[in-house]
Structure 1
């Protein structure tokens, strides 16, 4: 499953790029993120890996994030791997004006188990909505300081 999400953020590109790479701040725009740990490589460098731990209700999920490409203030690409799912995410940032940035996020989800294949067939919209939520939560956090931590 492939899809693209685009969001206009009323902040300079340098601020957007810096916040996207700040794992400490992710708890403010990644609802459910409980912890993260550095696994290998250099953080925010190609090959660097982090383990992201989420809790959704009574369900726990661990995701391995691998940086696959980076150009400062332009693009950052990740692979996200969890039980039964491989997600390729390519993020592009473009200057709109001195105080506005256009973030385009291309996603491809590749199921690696039958149950995840079935989930993608039955609930493709739910996965896209979750991705959109993260982008808009990022926008709200960077623009007005609205944290998802206030809603958990």
Structure 2
């Protein structure tokens, strides 16, 4: 499954990317995230890995994030691996004007087992969750 989403953030691209690099701040805009655990490499740089620990509906979930590309302030690409599958996200920041930045995500999911079937029927749910994170980041960045 693939999809692209975008919105605008009413802040300069320099502010937006600094806010994005704030790993502690991610807990404010990624619902359910309670811990980021570095595993290897320089956090936020190409090749680095870390675990994202989430709580969702009373269940704990752990995702392994790998930074695939890092060209901030304009682009970063990362993957998440878990028991339900693989998710690759390319996040693009584009300066629209001095105080407006366009945020675009290109998302790719490769699901396993029963999630493969559920993903086919529930693609809207995946898009809605991605947009929820984007809107949460927008609010965080505009603070």
TM-score normalized with structure 1 length: 0.91
Counterpart for residue 82 of structure 2: 82
1:38 & 1:121 partners in 2: Cα distance?
Answer: 32
Between the two proteins, the alignment pairs up a number of residues equal to 143
Question: 1:24-52: CA deviations, max 9, x gaps?
Answer: 10011001001110000111110011100
Unmatched runs of 5 consecutive residues or more in structure 2:
none
Q: How many angstroms does 1:119 deviate by? A: 1.7
Give structure 1 stretches of 5+ with no counterpart.
Answer: 146-152
RMSD: 0.9
1:57 equivalent in structure 2: 57
Regions of 4+ moved over 6 Å = none
Match of 1:119 in 2: 118
Secondary structure of 1:23's partner? coil
Whole-angstrom CA distance in 2 between matches of 1:142 and 1:133: 14
